[in-house]
Amino acid sequence: MRILSIFGTRPEAIKMAPLVKALAAEPSLESRVCITGQHQQMLDQVMDLFGLKAHCRLDVMRPNQSLNSLTAALFDAIDPLLEAERPDRVLVHGDTTTALVAAMAAFHRRIPVGHVEAGLRTGDLRQPWPEEMNRRSIDLIADQLFAPTAESRCNLLDERLAGQIWVTGNTVIDALQKTARRIDDDDHLRQRLDNRFGFLQPGRRLLLVTGHRRENFGEGLRHICQALRRLAQRADLQIVYPLHLNPNVKGPVTEQLGGLHNVHLIEPQDYLSFVRLMQRAHVVLTDSGGVQEEAPTLGKPVLVMRDVTERPEAVAAGTARLVGTSTQSIEQGVSALLDDEALWRQSAQACNPYGDGQASARIVDALLGRPVSEFAVRMPQAAQPLAVPGQTVPG
Ligand code: UD1
Ligand code: UDP
C-alpha cells in the first residue's frame, strides 16, 4: 500500500514526524512524504531535527499571502502531485489550509483520506478561524478518522460521519516524550540549549508566551501586548516570546514590546530549544493548539488566550485555564499563578489527557487492518473528564 502524507506547517511536521517514522518502519507500506511549503523556515527546523526526508517539495509560501491565494496555489500544486504519485491513501493532519486542500484534492480524485487529529471542535466557526471550518470539512471527507481522545471521538459520533474512528492519543505526545527524554538524558545537550538562553536570569521566574492566531490579529494582539507590558513591570518575572514569522504577528508585537528589558522577543525556536524553554517555564501563556497539549504533559500550568478551546481535556484536569484575550484577564491569570503558591502547585500536576506516546503505533495498526488497542486516559484522582467540547471562559 502506498501512503502519501501531505503537510506544510510547523505543527503538522512535529505531529506527523513520529508517524512518518513509524510508517517507514513497516515493510508492507510504501510511505511517501510531500511538503507543501506553506511554511518554509519554521518547517525546515522540524524536518532537520527529526531527520525527515521529503520525497517532494512544493513551494506555495509567499510573504503574507491571503488564505484564498494560498488555497489556490495549494490546489494547483497538489493535484499534479496526486496524478504523479497515485497513492492508495492520503494522510493529512489537523486543520491547516494545507490539510484541507490536500483532503479535497484527494477526494476529487477518489483517493481515500485518513485524518490524523480528527474530531477536535470548538463548535464556533469563528474560532479558531479558519481552522474550525477546515477540520470539520476534512472529517466529512475522511474515511479513516484518528481521534486523539474520547472527547474527539464523541464529537465525530455526534456529527454522524461516515468514517471509521479510532481513539489513538495525539502524536504530539509521541514527539514530545521522545524530545524531552533526549534533553533529560544528555547533560551536554541540555547545557548547549541553556547556553542559547544565557540572557535568562536565575532569580526571575519564566513566563513563556506564544501567540499567533488569525482571529487575534489587531485588537486581540494589542490587548495581549498590553497585558505583557504590565506584567513586565514585576521584578520577579522574565518573559520570553518566540515570534511566529507571520508579519501580522511579528510586526505589531515587536512594535509594542520591543526594547523592554525583561521581555525577550526571539526568533521561532527549533523544537528541541522550545521544549527546553517549556521545561524551564514557570507558567506558559499561549493561543497555540499544540502547546496546550504539551504543557500539561510537562506539568506546566498553561493559560490559554482564547474564549473557547477545542482541547477541553486539560481544562477539565485543572492544568489549563482559559483567560481569553482581555488585558485584565490575562494579567490577572498570570499574577494569580505567580502569587498563589497553592494554586500554582495544583495547576502544575503533570497529566496526560492527550496521549501516552503510542499514537503513531496505533495509527499504523489501523492502517494495516490490525487490531488497535485504543488510548484511554488515566486522569488524576480529582479530575473529571468533560463530556462537552468547546469549554468557554467561566464568568
Ligand atoms: C498556519 C495555520 C495555523 C497554524 C499555524 C502554525 C492555516 C490557515 N493556519 O497559521 O492553523 O496554527 O500555521 O504555525 O493554515 N511565514 C514565513 N516563514 C515561515 C512561516 C510563515 O515567512 O516559515 C510567514 C509568511 O509571510 C506567510 C505568513 O507567515 O505568508 C503566514 O503563514 P501561514 O501559513 O498563513 O500561517 P498562519 O495562517 O498564521
Ligand atoms: N514550537 C516550536 N518553536 C517555537 C514555538 C512553538 O517548535 O518557537 C512548537 C510547539 O512546541 C508546538 C508547535 O510548535 O509543538 C505549535 O505550533 P504553532 O503554535 O505554530 O501551531 P498550532 O499548534 O497553534 O497549530
Q: What are the tens digits of pLDDT across the range 36-56? A: 999 989 999 999 999 999 999
What cell does 354 get? 492527550
Exactly one of 39, 244, 311, 362 is catalytic; which is it?
244
pLDDT score, position 20: 98
- Indicate whether residue 309 lines ligand 2 (CB < 6 A): no
Cell of 52: 525527515
Helix and strand tally (H, E) in the chain?
16, 15
- Selected catalytic residue, list 32, 115, 117, 294: 117
Give me ligand 2 centre to Cα 63, in Å. 19
Look up 108 and say whether it is catalytic. Answer: no
182, 190, 214, 230: the catalytic one is 214
Mean pLDDT of the chain: 94
Percent of the chain predicted with pLDDT > 90 = 94
pLDDT at 384 over 70: no
| Predicted confidence (pLDDT) at residue 389 exceeds the cutoff of 50 | no
- Fold identical between 2-167 and 189-347? yes
Q: How far is the CA of 248 from the centre of ligand 2 (A)?
A: 17
Find cell 485555564 and name the residue. Answer: 321
β-partners of residue 391 are 309
What does the pLDDT look like over 50-108, one tens digit per residue?
Answer: 999 999 999 999 999 999 999 999 999 999 999 999 999 999 999 999 999 999 999 99
Percent of the chain at pLDDT > 70 equals: 95
Ligand 2 in contact with 8 (CB < 6 A)?
no
Q: Listing from the earlier edge strand, what are the strands of the sheet with 2-7? A: 56-57, 30-35, 2-7, 89-93, 113-116, 144-147, 164-167
Give the β-pairing of 113-116 and 30-35.
Answer: unpaired
User: What pLDDT digit, counting tens, does each position of 140-199 carry?
Assistant: 999 999 999 999 999 999 999 999 999 999 999 999 999 999 999 999 999 999 999 999
The string of pLDDT tens digits covering residues 257-306 is 999 999 999 999 999 999 999 999 999 999 999 999 999 999 999 999 99
Contacts of 67 (CB under 8 A, 6+ apart): 97, 130
Look up 214 and say whether it is catalytic. Answer: yes
**CATH number of the domain at 2-167, please?**
3.40.50.2000
Q: Which residue has the cell 514527539?
A: 175
Q: Which CATH class is domain 189-347?
A: alpha beta
Q: What element of type H or E holds 90?
A: strand 89-93
Active site residue 181: no
Domain ranges, ordered by start, for the chain: 2-167, 189-347
pLDDT for the residue 381:
46
Strand partners, 33: 5
pLDDT digits (tens, 9 = 90+) for 108-129: 999 999 999 999 999 999 999 9
Q: How confident is the model at residue 379 (pLDDT cuts 50, 70, 90)?
A: low
**Which residue in the list 12, 95, 151, 294 is annotated as catalytic?**
95
Task: Evaluate: CB of 10 within 6 angstroms of ligand 2.
Answer: yes
Distance, C-alpha 285 to centroid of its chain? 14
pLDDT band at 238 (very low <50, low <70, confident <90, very high): very high
Q: Is the CB of 128 under 6 A from ligand 2?
A: no
The closest ligand to the CA of 291 turns out to be: 2
Predicted local distance difference test score (pLDDT) of residue 350: 82
| Angle formed at CA 131 by CA 105 and CA 206, multiple of 5 degrees | 135
State pTM to two decimals: 0.95
**Is position 294 annotated as part of the catalytic site?**
no
Question: In the annotation, is 131 catalytic?
Answer: yes
The minimum-distance atom of ligand 1 relative to the CA of 98 is: 15
